[in-house]
């Protein structure tokens, strides 16, 4: 093994001389077998599994900005599988299992920390929903249970579980396999793996139109020229409806900003992820010691990614209801990303009425955790021309048929 002296580390930090690029830049080819629009976790995972699982390598991932610049680089990185519907539980469980192996699969440390995920109940209705979720979870072999206030206090001593709290904690849904991950590392790891398998990643390449003829996709127009292709995947999350419109396919989504914030680092004291649906807040502590806070989406549809003072004031008030001892912590920054919300809080995946145009959208506030399973399933759709069973319930046609997969009770704030 080559030794790294402090001097060499310092020099390489400045010059990057001995650190090869994780993915390469390429000329845009005039045609690709598959064009994936969106270089977030979903688009990159799809490209990776197309190449590695199915040997389909003449693939381009196009992003109008840099990879990970959308929700994939802005999320709060919570991974869990304790959803409410059997379809949702099976789907997210597969993703969690892929995440557990991902560092080894990609030979890239994605820093998945399974520290547990706890959703607090402040009233009887919440406790009832959590018991329901725990039962659905257990039936599918997911580690998920309802615990009482003592169990909550034992795991998170800083929480106020007294009767005098304004929002008393009556119990919680506890999900030990849940946790947090390093989101940038996931994006970079998939990009590196896809690139090594022959995929072309084109940053700063914006799709401005999708060409069709006789009900089939024939190509995409970009700010760098036109690409001929018979297969296009829309993996653009917050831009899902505008990109699908280019192919003439209407998406039942509305786009909302979602904000989050992070504090200065402090000594580790929070060993699990905490969510309060009633207070619209969640918090985790990163390996660096920062507290990461999030909430539900802004109350109006918009493409703005500006943070607001109103959000921070509301968030801080709710955090202090839960943990009054955080009153002196300083916030370092806040940010926002775009979320494409569907009517049933479940994704829209697979084929569309336009032949060759597939979608992997509707990820709302909870799609980062679904990146691996979505990439795997969409790659299988393309390679086999069939919809794998694991995403069979998430097709676009469900909205016309009224077959909704209602996940609001488990997906609204919990991410």
Ligand X SMILES: Cc1cc2nc3c(=O)[nH]c(=O)nc-3n(C[C@H](O)[C@H](O)[C@H](O)COP(=O)(O)OP(=O)(O)OC[C@H]3O[C@@H](n4cnc5c(N)ncnc54)[C@H](O)[C@@H]3O)c2cc1C
Give CA separation, 52 vs 61, 91, 184, 192, 195, in Å: 15, 21, 21, 12, 11
364 vs 352: CA distance, rounded Å: 20
371 vs 46: CA distance, rounded Å: 9
SS3 229: coil
39 vs 62: CA distance, rounded Å: 6
Question: Which one of residues 39, 171, 189, 362 is an interface residue with ligand X (CB under 6 A)?
Answer: 39
Q: How far separated are the first and last CA of the chain, in Å rounded?
A: 41
Q: Are 359 and 234 in contact (CB under 8 A)?
A: yes
Q: How far is the CB of 314 from ligand X (least distance, A)?
A: 15
Toward ligand X, which CB reaches closer, 294 or 395? 294
Interaction pattern, residues 180-219, with ligand X; x per rule: CB under 6 A? --------------------------xx------------
Find all residues with CB under 8 Å of 136, minimum gap 6, and list them.
83, 84, 85, 86, 89
Q: Where are the beta strands (DSSP E) in 184-234?
A: 200-202, 207-213, 216-222, 225-228, 232-234
Pairing of strands 232-234, 254-263: unpaired
In order, the DSSP letters of 352-382 are -SSBTEEEEE--TTT-GGGHHHHHHHHHHHH
Toward ligand X, which CB reaches closer, 65 or 109? 65
Toward ligand X, which CB reaches closer, 212 or 365? 365
Q: Are 191 and 67 in contact (CB under 8 A)?
A: yes
Q: Which stretch binds ligand X (CB under 6 A): 75-83, 122-130, 191-199, 315-323?
A: 75-83
Toward ligand X, which CB reaches closer, 130 or 275? 275
Q: Does 94 bind ligand X (CB under 6 A)?
A: no
* DSSP type of residue 208: E
Interaction pattern, residues 355-384, with ligand X; x per rule: CB under 6 A? --------x-xxxxx---------------
Helical (H) or strand (E) element with 309 = helix 309-322
Instruction: State CA 243 to chain mean position distance.
Output: 19
Question: Which one of residues 35, 48, 63, 410 is an interface residue with ligand X (CB under 6 A)?
Answer: 63
Q: How far is the CB of 4 from ligand X (least distance, A)?
A: 33
Q: Does 177 bind ligand X (CB under 6 A)?
A: no
Q: How far is the CB of 150 from ligand X (least distance, A)?
A: 28
Q: Which stretch binds ligand X (CB under 6 A): 8-16, 19-27, 71-79, 110-118?
A: 71-79
Q: How far is the CB of 359 from ligand X (least distance, A)?
A: 10
- Joined together, the tokens standing for residue 61 give 């991932």
Q: Are 51 and 43 in contact (CB under 8 A)?
A: no
Question: Which one of residues 36, 48, 70, 191 is an interface residue with ligand X (CB under 6 A)?
Answer: 70
Q: Does 72 bind ligand X (CB under 6 A)?
A: yes
Q: How many CA atoms lie within 13 A of 101 on its CB side?
A: 8
Q: How far is the CB of 188 from ligand X (least distance, A)?
A: 13
Q: Does 239 bind ligand X (CB under 6 A)?
A: yes
Toward ligand X, which CB reaches closer, 32 or 170? 32
Q: Which stretch binds ligand X (CB under 6 A): 70-78, 135-143, 225-233, 394-402?
A: 70-78
Question: Which one of residues 35, 40, 188, 351 is an interface residue with ligand X (CB under 6 A)?
Answer: 40
Interaction pattern, residues 263-302, with ligand X; x per rule: CB under 6 A? -------------------------------x--------
Instruction: State CA 398 to chain mean position distance.
Output: 22
Binding site for ligand X (CB under 6 A): 37-43, 62-65, 69-72, 74-78, 206-207, 235-239, 243, 258, 260, 294, 337, 339, 363, 365-369, 415
């Amino acid at each position: 093994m080559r030794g790294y002296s402090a001097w060499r580390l310092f020099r390489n930090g400045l010059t990057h001389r001995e650190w090869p690029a994780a993915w390469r830049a390429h000329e845009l080819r005039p045609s690709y077998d598959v064009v994936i629009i969106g270089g977030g976790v979903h688009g990159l995972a799809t490209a990776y599994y197309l190449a590695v699982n199915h040997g389909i390598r003449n693939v381009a991932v196009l992003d109008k900005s840099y990879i990970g610049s959308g929700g994939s680089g802005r999320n709060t990185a919570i991974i869990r599988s304790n959803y409410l519907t059997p379809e949702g539980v099976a789907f997210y469980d597969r993703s969690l299992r892929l995440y557990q192996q991902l560092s080894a699969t990609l030979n890239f440390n994605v820093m998945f920390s399974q520290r547990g995920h706890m959703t607090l109940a402040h009233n009887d209705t919440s406790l009832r929903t959590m018991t329901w979720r725990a039962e659905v979870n257990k039936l599918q072999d997911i580690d998920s249970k309802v615990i009482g206030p003592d169990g909550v206090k034992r795991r998170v001593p800083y929480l106020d579980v007294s009767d005098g709290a304004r929002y008393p904690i009556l119990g919680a849904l506890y999900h030990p396999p849940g946790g947090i991950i390093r989101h940038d590392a996931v994006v970079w790891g998939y990009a590196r793996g896809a690139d090594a398998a022959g995929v072309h990643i084109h940053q700063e390449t914006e799709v401005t139109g999708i060409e069709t003829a006789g009900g089939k996709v024939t190509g995409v127009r970009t700010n760098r020229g036109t690409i001929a292709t018979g297969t296009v995947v829309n993996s653009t999350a917050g831009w899902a409806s505008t990109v699908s419109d280019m192919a003439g396919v209407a998406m039942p989504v509305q786009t909302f900003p979602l904000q989050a914030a992070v504090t200065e680092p402090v000594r580790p004291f929070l060993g699990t992820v905490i969510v309060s649906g009633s207070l619209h807040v969640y918090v985790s502590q990163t390996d660096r010691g920062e507290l990461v806070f999030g909430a539900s989406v802004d109350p109006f549809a918009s493409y703005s990614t500006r943070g607001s003072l109103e959000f921070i004031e509301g968030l801080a008030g709710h955090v202090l209801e839960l943990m009054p001892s955080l009153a002196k912590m300083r916030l370092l920054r806040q940010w926002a990303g775009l979320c494409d919300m569907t009517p049933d809080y479940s994704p829209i995946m697979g084929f569309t009425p336009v032949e060759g145009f597939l979608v992997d959208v509707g990820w709302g506030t909870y799609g980062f955790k679904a990146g691996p399973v979505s990439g795997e399933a969409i790659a299988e759709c393309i390679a086999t021309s069939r919809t794998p069973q694991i995403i069979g319930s998430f097709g676009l046609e469900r909205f016309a048929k009224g077959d909704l997969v209602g996940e609001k009770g488990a997906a609204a704030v919990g991410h």
